[in-house]
Amino acid sequence: MKYHFYNANILSEGKILHGDVVVEDEKIIYVGKDIAVKADREIDVKGNVLMAGFVNAHVHTPMTLLRGVADDMELYSWLYDNIFPAEQKLTPEDVYWGEMLGIAEQVRAGITAFDENYFHFDAIIDAVKKSGIRCRLGLPGNFNSKSAKEMNEFLDLYISKLDNKLIKPAIYAHSIYTLTEEELSILVDYSAKHKLPVCMHLAETLKEVGDCTVKNECTPPEYLEKLGFLDRPSTLYHCVHLDKDDIKILADYNANVVTCPSSNLKLGSGIAPIYSMKEHGLNICIGTDGTASNNSLDMFKEMFLVATLNKATLYDASIISANEVLDMATKNGALALGFEGCGDIIEGNYADLILIDLNKPHHQPLNNIISNLVYSAKSSDVYFTMVNGKILYEDGKFNIGEDIEKIYENCQKITKRIL
Amino acid sequence: MKYHFYNANILSEGKILHGDVVVEDEKIIYVGKDIAVKADREIDVKGNVLMAGFVNAHVHTPMTLLRGVADDMELYSWLYDNIFPAEQKLTPEDVYWGEMLGIAEQVRAGITAFDENYFHFDAIIDAVKKSGIRCRLGLPGNFNSKSAKEMNEFLDLYISKLDNKLIKPAIYAHSIYTLTEEELSILVDYSAKHKLPVCMHLAETLKEVGDCTVKNECTPPEYLEKLGFLDRPSTLYHCVHLDKDDIKILADYNANVVTCPSSNLKLGSGIAPIYSMKEHGLNICIGTDGTASNNSLDMFKEMFLVATLNKATLYDASIISANEVLDMATKNGALALGFEGCGDIIEGNYADLILIDLNKPHHQPLNNIISNLVYSAKSSDVYFTMVNGKILYEDGKFNIGEDIEKIYENCQKITKRIL
């Protein structure tokens, strides 16, 4: 299948270029000035934006089922008293529908790839494969009383089920407060043996940092360093409470950090030191976290926050630019998640792209498109989402393998049962 | 004209009630269970939300023209080196079209009333009256070398042009750093003589507070108290940098405060102490500020920030609830601006109301509508906006007295000329 997009404002390598993009099968084969080309479908972009889809670098997608449950309480009560008990009631089928709902929400909002951390892996794999979205799946999260041998077999089994193109594996250790040192070591060993990246929630709250300091006599990054966790390519979620030395450690190991500002604000966790991370050269990505702590999967909301929160805490509006934030929301995430050939509109890349409608009051007059994308745009401006050359959303219609009304209906039934 | 809204989830007095609303001419005449009534138009709300329109308690609407101009710099450079010079080129006709664009953006986003502070008053009055939106207009802003006598005549003239129902006057002093003590006193005297409220930007930046402390040997609220400004019913915009004593002064005088979190973040001004203001009993309202410092007129974005920013700075997720924030965005604003009978869906109130579509992935499953309105909803979910019984926006169509494409075209021409 060949698509010819013309009359587009293309966001490519941090600049806006007016012209055409041609997609053939899975790939972008042309980016440039107007071109005459024979295509199966001609798409007049009408001066709107064509850009790479967003990479949501941290999400627990099936938590859509718990949207609006347990608001306005801090992370530990939220997690242990509300979220974990509700999650224990979820069946694999429930998770399948929650995943589908979250995929619908994400493609509607221009997200073309995400880093998934949840459970009931067969259900997640089914939904992701059926939908056609790009995903890195973190395994296993927690041990649930498995022995080292059982865990190795478990990981072997699930990793064999992934196709390694649209859906890739990572070794996911939930956090230093839910896993023992022995369990963490088993996962590090597995990741080293199988050349897989590792990922984890890190330094999300002051309590986590305080508890770690008491128990391990070091900060969370120092603890990970000691365990050899940082010797692996790593993606660390949240990283709200890092001091200068912590940031230096993460930079020394080329760790990827994922900031989730909405979730950190809503749970009262704090504001991550993005500017300092940036100045230390860390690869900063952006995630939404799950919808029980956000409560939506919207990278535009996150981009605005990443662009502005550190301005307010450091009283300096010049420390971070719209362009830097767009990179964090696209190519930085693709780099962290191991999706080579994603995250930008350049020839040879995979066709993970979105169209953004500018013909709306909040984009007018069109003085500065890049500024608008970060400071004015809304996820509802996305009207076309393509992943790997396949259209997953266009003008209100979803093409993700399940009917949208059926997804709503099933999710409503599930929450009526479990809440 | 009589409207019968049925099958609605009505947000009324902080609770969700399933039923019907009847509007006759300018007023809401029924709120309750299903009712059989003869109406000119029956509207099936399909289980979506019917709620009061938002009151945007601080905006410079025609700054839509300067959207995306001068991002990523602090308030004083932004204002003196970029915004003021561009504004000097604006003609009354330019301001008319900028106002119209901002009105379009606001009604599209469910805003039914706003507090306007700008210049070229005839143009603003024309646009507001033509559109049918509700507005409080602040006069004069700055003196521009007028004598006391000239200023009194100027104010008399413009106040006579307002109808006092859809468009009400307030005495607007821009700030303590742009007006002299004598000028401030002239405005306070005028407001007292004519029984008008006063409004002003206050304690927006650390610089403003520092300069005031050096020059006047007191904080901005202490300075206003000394001048008699706080003896008048007052609305104070921003209030980012207030200590406990400042907040007590404002509470003693029943001042209304307007928080504008997006603008304060983006300009690097800081984060307002909303929790402390709330605990001291201040009437807290929410504003977007202008689109050169935000860059959109979206009360949903502001609500999320008001609900979450203090949670993060005080590390406590329980200090502010979704319901409190909905009040700030509606009835508190109506109270501050003097729009009695607005800001809630109750019988006898004016028909300033909006419909919000819940049949979208980011609202599903529908576990908690009030939570969704603050933590998940987007301004694009608004599909119907009525002010004073007149529909100003419905399903993509604007009814504000000017064609939307003509508004876009004229605004684009203006910015091409002035930038």
User: For B378, which of A264, A379, A415 is closest by C-beta distance?
Assistant: A379
What's the alpha-carbon Rg for chain A, to the nearest Å? 21
Cis preceding linkage at A197, omega within 30: no
H helix intervals, B269-403: 274-279, 299-313, 322-329, 331-337, 369-375
Using a CB-CB cut-off of 8 Å, the residues of chain A touching B317 are: 72-75, 78, 266-268
Are A27 and A1 within 8 A, CB to CB?
no
Residues B359, A315: C-beta atoms closer than 8 Å: no
The nearest CA of chain B is from the CA of A70 a distance in Å of 10
Mutate to test the interface with B, among A308, A310, A385, A415 (most CBs of B within 10 A): A308
Helix, strand, coil distribution of chain B in percent, nearest 5:
40, 25, 35
Show the CA angle centred on residue A165, arms to residues A160 and A171, nearest 5°. 55
Interacting residues of B172 by C-beta distance below 8 A, sequence separation 6+: B117, B138, B139, B140, B141, B198, B199, B200
Phi, psi at B390, each rounded to 5°: -115, 135
The nearest CA of chain B is from the CA of A337 a distance in Å of 25
Q: Does residue A177 sit in helix, strand or coil? A: coil
- When pLDDT is averaged across residues B384-411 and rounded to a whole number, the result is 98
Residues A318, B74: C-beta atoms closer than 8 Å: yes
- pLDDT tens-place string over residues B245-294: 999 999 999 999 999 999 999 999 999 999 999 999 999 999 999 999 99
Separation between Cα atoms, residue A176 and residue A159, nearest integer Å:
23
Separation between Cα atoms, residue A87 and residue A66, nearest integer Å:
9
Residues A295, B372: C-beta atoms closer than 8 Å: yes
Are B48 and B359 within 8 A, CB to CB?
yes
Q: Which residue has the higher pLDDT, A283 or A74?
A: A283
A:B CB pairs within 8 Å = 231
Using a CB-CB cut-off of 8 Å, the residues of chain A touching B362 are: 105, 108-109, 291, 296-298
Find the residue in B nearest to A102 (Cα).
Answer: B361
- When pLDDT is averaged across residues B104-116 and rounded to a whole number, the result is 98
Single-letter code of the amino acid located at B189 = D
Question: What Å distances lie between residue B106 and A373, B81, B288, B386, CA to CA?
Answer: 19, 28, 10, 12
Per CATH, which fold does B2-52+343-398 belong to?
Urease, subunit C; domain 1 (2.30.40)
DSSP string, B248-282: HHHHHTT-EEEE-HHHHHHTT-----HHHHHHTT-
- When pLDDT is averaged across residues B316-330 and rounded to a whole number, the result is 97
Helix (H) or strand (E) run with residue B19 in it: strand B15-24
Find the residue in A nearest to B302 (Cα).
Answer: A301
Report the pLDDT value the prediction gives residue A219, as an integer from 0 to 100: 98
Reported confidence tier of residue B76, pLDDT bands at 50, 70, 90: confident
Domain boundaries, given as residue ranges, for chain B: 2-52+343-398, 54-337
User: For A264, which of B270, B312, B419 is closest by C-beta distance?
Assistant: B312
Per-residue tokens: A10: 């293309």
Are A71 and B322 within 8 A, CB to CB?
yes
Q: Which CATH number fits domain A54-337: 3.70.10.10, 3.55.40.20, 3.20.20.140, 3.30.70.1230?
A: 3.20.20.140
Using the structure block, give the residue that is written with the tokens 């007023």: B27
The nearest CA of chain B is from the CA of A344 a distance in Å of 23
- pLDDT tens-place string over residues A153-191: 999 999 999 987 899 999 999 999 999 999 999 999 999
Report the pLDDT value the prediction gives residue B154, as an integer from 0 to 100: 97
Kindly indicate whether the ipTM for this predicted assembly is greater than 0.95, answering yes or no. Answer: yes
Residues A380, B380: C-beta atoms closer than 8 Å: yes
Using a CB-CB cut-off of 8 Å, the residues of chain B touching A414 are: 365
Q: Mean pLDDT score of chain B, rounded to an integer? A: 97
Query: pTM of the entire structure?
Result: 0.98
Q: What is the architecture of the domain spanning A2-52+342-398?
A: Roll (2.30)
Separation between Cα atoms, residue A301 and residue A374, nearest integer Å:
9
Using the structure block, give the residue that is written with the tokens 């610089």: B207
DSSP string, A249-311: HHHHTT-EEEE-HHHHHHTT-----HHHHHHTT-EEEE----TTSSS---HHHHHHHHHHHHH
Residues B268, A315: C-beta atoms closer than 8 Å: yes
Residues A301, B304: C-beta atoms closer than 8 Å: yes
